[in-house]
Chains A and B, each alone.
Chain A
């Protein structure tokens, strides 16, 4: 049973790793680099929690 579980673990690892690589490729070819790297630190606070003392 344990050896079977070990093979299942390898299988799941390969499938999920392949899915992530596929999704990575899909996203990188669908969206521009400017959009993907557009996150900015601090803008959340600036927008939704106006800094007042």
Chain B
């Protein structure tokens, strides 16, 4: 029995093989990246105000924006060349080596699964806060979020990212509507930035507060690099991935600036830094019931879009590990009808549910951020090695990022600052995760790697790297 006969699909079949469907375009890439990230505008970024004041939240908005612009540029260049599911994992495998690739894949799976957990908890808590009903808990809403989105992912990537495009666009438009509803061109009518952010309270803890704010400034953009996981399912990776990723980054920079301006002009930094719903609260503070309801719905949609993209990305990273036998090849199964990595989706489903029921929001967020920053640190080293081993002109690139090696150096330096900021706030978690990755690396090196078919894992038809 062959896949070609039974599936009725007309694309992406090579003989008897069942592959992921190549059906996505730049809009889906945008929906995947922005969808994962946008929830950070609805909650998360504002905790940076608690660390360093409202001005610190703005400073990190732009500096972390620089970090992520570097991430987007570097990622676009490498992934337009290494167009395979697994994204940064496939990049690491071809450019650095198997042990780095194994670690990067785990960074990806942890970052996205923990972000999915955080999104589900946020969605459940938001509904409970809105309902205010006695005896109502968030568990049922968490379960429905994770299971429904897993089902959507199971049924196919095209519908999954079509849904993500629509709900991400609605959430984004709600921020734009809020921004223009408060007359941003005039101060005093609704917005009171001059009164709320003064020279006396702009940086209440000085510049060390700005450094500490990096930890939560990450939330403005955390996850935009997830666009690369779609590499094997886009119709034209060399064009769609750079286009979708860079468009997504521009979208997010605009959203972050608008969000900070409205929220810092409506709430004192002491409150802004501790609320879980800065944009929903901003909607309430405008006095418009319509805006309040719109921002409530938008908060839910942003959480849904993020969790949806995270399930998509975590499953592809796990699937790629199985396909290269870094994990049992059982995980590399593709559904013959829906063309999705269905076993990986199902395997990660109960893990996400378990964490969502037992972990709290802060722990889940911290593990996600830590894994993300570890991944960005790798990317700065990866691009240096990529350009040295395969200089411009030796292999075809869909996109070539400018000013090399400046973005890589900026990215590395900002990652170091962010690690220091995380150490200030969550030092024990940072050490625990480092120990975890060290031990799992030993397991991979001494036990698991003997199962890997070493010649098969390097699939890109590239010339030999310089110096080899």
- Chain A contacts to B: CB under 8 angstroms: 2-3, 6-7, 9-10, 12-13, 16-17, 19-21, 23-24, 27, 30-33, 35-47, 49, 51-53
Contacts and interface: CB of A to CB of B under 8 A. Distances in A.
Interface stretch (B265-273, B369-377, B390-398, B424-432): B390-398
B342 A41 contact: no
A13 B142 CA distance: 10
Nearest to B154: A20
22 contacts: A2-B131, A2-B136, A3-B136, A9-B144, A10-B143, A10-B144, A13-B144, A13-B147, A23-B342, A24-B343, A32-B1, A35-B18, A37-B333, A37-B334, A38-B16, A38-B334, A39-B334, A41-B85, A44-B12, A45-B237, A47-B14, A53-B394
Interface stretch (B71-79, B193-201, B218-226, B324-332): B324-332
Using C-beta atoms within 8 Å of the partner chain, give the interface range for chain B.
Answer: 35 or more
A37 to B, nearest CB: 5
Contacts of B131: 2
Nearest to B395: A53
Contacts of A27: 335-337, 342
B14 to A, nearest CB: 6
A47 to B, nearest CB: 6
Contacts of B443: none
A12 B144 contact: yes
Interface in B61-105: 83-86, 90
A31 B320 contact: no
Q: Which of A7, A44, A47, A51 has the most CB of B within 10 A?
A: A44
B466 interface: no
Contact of B133 (A3, A17, A45): A3
B1 A31 contact: yes
Given A2-B131, A12-B147, A37-B334, 15 more contacts: A6-B136, A6-B140, A13-B144, A19-B151, A20-B150, A20-B154, A23-B154, A27-B336, A31-B1, A31-B6, A36-B18, A38-B16, A40-B17, A43-B14, A51-B462
A21 B350 CA distance: 12
A47 B11 CA distance: 12
B351 to A, nearest CB: 14
Contacts of A10: 140, 143-144
A43 B19 contact: yes
Given A20-B151, A24-B343, A27-B342, A44 B19 contact: yes
